[in-house]
């Protein structure tokens, strides 16, 4: 069977729409009190973004033949955590940015207090979603899924990575230190998306789980390397967020440590390692392979 780019685009677009529907249903109505908070939550979570994390969940769900409805809940939960992280990251006390997904950031459109609360409430809603829908036949497997997402977002995951990032401004990091930061800041949630999607389906054996974990680690790092390259290579209009910010803020990145050419080479190597990790999964991992390509070749 010949798989074309168009086939992947059709698959991605159908699943992006599915996530949009799921998020719309999960988010409180903008008419419900407190309206301004709910408006802010919907403003940041709906109608934007590549939805890479939910797509990874859907793709990993195909490996374990998971029910798509269950994966949509898990993917939406991860996307809500991601949306919260972007809102808080853009606040004046962190990256202080005014543009996100081509629109004014949440604290610019609303105000700082509402942005802080919207982020908090998005995070809570994510955990609530995982807890109130049946995602696994075995209750202990579902409990493990809740634990996995909470841990990925916490101080040993994304929030911890962000703390390291904030402390690294103006500091020269070695490649392993940079990797440690991004395994937490960006990688933890990407890993959670993949593992949660897979766990909505049939249990994988330990070796297969290790393969999926290795895939997630490589693709999480590749995602960040490409993000750093795009920050120097792409325009604000293409990215929908302020380009060139890392250098201006004196932040260590893969580009500042390696240079653009070697950073691009590293992204290609990580893609290769990610694909190697999927050996033996056959056609079930087709979408994961295509997503690895999308993540490395994307222009936004």
Select 162 or 211, whichever has its Cβ closest to ligand GRG: 162
**Residue of minimal Cβ distance to ligand GRG:** 49
Contacts to ligand GRG by CB under 6 A: 49-50, 52, 82, 85-86, 88-89, 101, 158-159, 162, 185-186, 224, 227
Task: Report CA-CA distances (Å) from 235 to 52, 223, 229.
Answer: 20, 18, 11
What's the closest the beta carbon of residue 86 comes to ligand GRG, in angstroms?
A: 6
Q: H/E/C letters for each residue in 206-272?
A: HHHHHHHHHHHHHHHHHHHHHHHHHHHHCCHHHHCCCCCHHHHCCCCCHHHHHCHHHHHHHHHHHHH
Tell me the backbone φ, ψ of residue 135, rounded to 5 degrees: -115, -20
> At closest approach, how far in Å is the CB of 12 from ligand GRG?
12
Residues whose CB is less than 8 angstroms from the CB of residue 124 and which lie 6 or more positions away in sequence, other chains included = none
Structure tokens at 265: 């080479």
Question: What is the rounded distance in angstroms from the CA atom of residue 99 to the CA atom of residue 96?
Answer: 10
Least distance (Å) between residue 255 CB and ligand GRG: 13
Choose between 81 and 130: whose C-beta lies nearer to ligand GRG: 81
The candidate with the shortest Cα–Cα distance to 61, out of 289, 290, 293, 287, is: 287
If the CB atoms of residues 20 and 227 are measured against ligand GRG, the closer one turns out to be 227
Q: Is 202 left (phi over 0), alpha (psi -120 to 50) or beta?
A: beta
* Between 136 and 291, CB nearer to ligand GRG: 291
The residue assigned the tokens 């979408």 is 287
- Residue position matching structure tokens 């939550």: 41
| Residue 186: CB minimum distance to ligand GRG, A | 5
Least distance (Å) between residue 162 CB and ligand GRG? 4
Q: How far is the CB of 159 from ligand GRG (least distance, A)?
A: 4
**Closest approach of Cβ 119 to ligand GRG, in Å?**
7
Closest by Cα among 70, 19, 78 to 201: 70
Diameter of the chain measured on Cα atoms: 53
By beta-carbon proximity to ligand GRG, the closer residue of 22 and 162 is 162
């Amino acid at each position: 069977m010949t798989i074309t780019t168009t086939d992947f685009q059709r698959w991605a677009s159908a699943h992006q729409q599915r996530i949009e529907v799921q998020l719309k249903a999960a988010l409180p109505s903008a008419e419900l009190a407190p309206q301004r908070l709910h408006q802010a939550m919907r403003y940041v979570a709906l109608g934007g973004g590549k939805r890479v994390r939910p797509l990874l969940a859907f793709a990993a769900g195909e490996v374990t033949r998971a029910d798509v409805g269950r994966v949509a809940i898990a993917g939406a939960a991860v996307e809500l955590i991601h949306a919260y992280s972007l809102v808080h990251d853009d606040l004046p006390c962190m990256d202080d940015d005014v543009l996100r997904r081509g629109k004014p950031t949440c604290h610019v459109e609303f105000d700082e207090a509402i942005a802080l609360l919207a982020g908090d409430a998005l995070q809570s809603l994510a955990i609530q979603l995982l807890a109130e829908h049946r995602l696994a036949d075995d209750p202990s497997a579902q409990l493990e899924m809740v634990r996995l997402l909470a841990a990925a977002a916490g101080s040993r995951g994304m929030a911890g990575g962000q703390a390291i990032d904030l402390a690294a401004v103006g500091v020269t990091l070695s490649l392993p230190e940079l990797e440690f930061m991004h395994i937490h800041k960006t990688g933890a949630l990407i890993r959670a998306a993949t593992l949660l999607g897979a766990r909505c389906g049939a249990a994988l054996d330990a070796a297969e789980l290790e393969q999926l974990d290795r895939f997630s680690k490589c693709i999480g790092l590749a995602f960040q390397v490409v993000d750093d390259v795009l920050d120097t290579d792409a325009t604000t209009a293409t990215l929908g967020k302020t380009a060139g910010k890392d250098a201006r803020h004196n932040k260590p990145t893969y580009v500042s440590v390696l240079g653009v050419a070697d950073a691009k080479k590293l992204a290609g190597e990580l893609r290769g390692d990610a694909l190697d990790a999927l050996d033996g999964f056959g056609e079930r991992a087709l979408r994961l392979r295509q997503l690895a390509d999308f993540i490395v070749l994307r222009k936004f």
